[in-house]
Structure 1
Amino acid sequence: MNTINIVAGGPPELIPDLTKYTDSDTTWVGVDKGTVTLLQAGLIPKEAFGDFDSITDKERGQIEKAAPGLHVYQAEKDQTDLDLALDWALKMNPQSIRMFGVTGGRADHFLGNIQLLYKGLKTNPDIRLIDRQNEIQMFGPGRYTLEARSDKRYISFIPFTEAADGLTLEGFKYPLNNCHITLGSTLCISNELIHSRGTFSFAKGILIMVRSAD
């Protein structure tokens, strides 16, 4: 499987049209009430994870009929349902993982979901949190190329570690050269590409990148 798409139970108004993210190489995974969201979109999950304490008995019956792999957990556990689903996805070694329904709502869940991106740095899959307005990724040291996107014009970089060293931005409206960015800095908020593509690179630390629509 090349892409695994995971749908959690975040606010439905923040979830984009999921049918635009599916093809023959896509595997869908539901997390708790996000499994209902998948079924409502006409998409059948291969796996479903959760304690399913936020759905009705009717919805649970629909999930049990639809999902070939159903993983039910107690509500009291040491990992969130999304964390468990991501662990499964990483074991499948896909080229990319996209997570929907993971922003908005409770702030503790949202912040925890951003931190889950850190798991991907160990195995290097392309993991993204996606909602109607934003795409969020996490990067370790290296050099990366970005394509300009009319739907996600703004690009921001936020340190996840105490600092990011040697940050260089090329092809951006506000370029940087070998810059030291500390935790708490807003220097790299709301930049833009000025060409069809650009690059960013840094030597030390971890960066969160957010691509946003206005």
Structure 2
Amino acid sequence: MNINILAGGPEEFLPNLHEYYSDNDIWVGVDRGVYTLINKKITPALAFGDFDSVSKEELLVIEGHVKEMKRYEPEKNETDMELALNWAVKQEPVLIRIFGATGGRLDHFLANVHLLVKPVLEKNHINIVLIDNQNILSLKGPGSYKIEMRVDKKYISFVPLTLEVKGLTLRGFKYPLKNRHISIGSTLCISNELISDHGTFSFSEGILLVIRSND
């Protein structure tokens, strides 16, 4: 089972959601993302939010399409996206895809990236990715990972999200590394590329933001 979550980010940053549609997947809408899913002929199984970003008319449409709505007051300690992601992690899916979480407000974007830290710290093995029409983002904890070449996302960047990432080794890349320590703020690992159909990366300490992009 996979869970797809659509947040309320600008629609111009969304990929074609129907490319990710499967009968085995659960779709979840967050705030205005619920209305966007309905407009794209995808009915979410659940809706999360305070719905302060939709009009009264749009809220009526949402209420007419979604059977299960988890509504919250605007004044709360968590964002709507955090509440939706916490629920999704508890379902123990194989994969969680998050759309509509980039673009627009930078505080929302950065908060959404940092929401992926908690599952890494808890050593949760669910694969969680943020996807827009140009990028795929994920967070990784210490370990060894295989990464496949994608012609539509040829650039691969590795960004430390902790003060230091230790022992970073890149194999099968245009710019390989062996057992390097990378400090937060370093741009050493920006815009790398695979030179074969797959490569590997590994590190021993820290949290690494992995970004696959294309121009």
Q: Could you tell me the TM-score, scaled by structure 2's length? A: 0.98
Q: Distance in 2 between matches of 1:69 and 1:108?
A: 28
Tell me which residue corresponds to 1:20: 19
Query: For residue 51 of structure 2, what is the aligned residue in structure 1?
Result: 52
Residues 103 and 110, structure 1, Cα contact 8 Å, conserved in 2: yes
Please list every run of at least 4 consecutive aligned residues from structure 1 whose deviation after the TM superposition is greater than 3 angstroms.
none
- Unaligned segments of structure 2, at least 5 residues: none
SS in 1 for 2:116: helix
Give runs of aligned pairs for residues 3-152 of structure 1, distance below 5 A.
Answer: 3-121=2-120, 122=122, 123-152=124-153
The residue type paired with residue 100 of structure 1 is F
Secondary structure of the structure 1 residue equivalent to 2:37 = helix
Structure 1 residue 119: deviation in Å? 2.4
State the Cα distance separating 1:57 from its structure 2 match.
1.4
**Contact map agreement 1:120 1:126 (CA 8 A) in 2:** no
In the alignment of these two chains, the number of paired residues is 213
**Cα drift, residue 120 of structure 1:** 2.3
Q: Deviations for 1:37-73, whole angstroms, at most 9, x for unmatched residues?
A: 1011100000000000111112111111211210110
Structure 1: runs of 5+ lacking an equivalent: none
Deviation at 1:136, TM superposition (A): 0.4
SS in 2 for 1:192: coil
CA-to-aligned-CA distance 1:134-180 (integer Å, 9 cap, x gap): 00000000000000000100000000101000000000000000001
Q: Residue by residue, what CA displacement relative to the aligned partner does 1:103-136 show, whole Å, maximum 9, x if unpaired?
A: 0111111100000111221212100010000000
Aligned equivalents of 1:191, 1:10: Cα separation in 2: 28
Q: CA RMSD for the aligned pairs?
A: 0.7
Alpha-carbon distance in structure 1 between the residues aligned to 2:75 and 2:91: 26
Q: Which residue of 2 aligns with 1:204?
A: 205
3-state SS in 1 of match to 2:168: strand
TM-score, normalising length: structure 1: 0.98
1:95–1:126: 8 Å Cα contact kept in structure 2? yes
Q: Which residue of 1 aligns with 2:161?
A: 160
Q: Which residue of 2 aligns with 1:169?
A: 170
AA partner of residue 30 (structure 1) = G
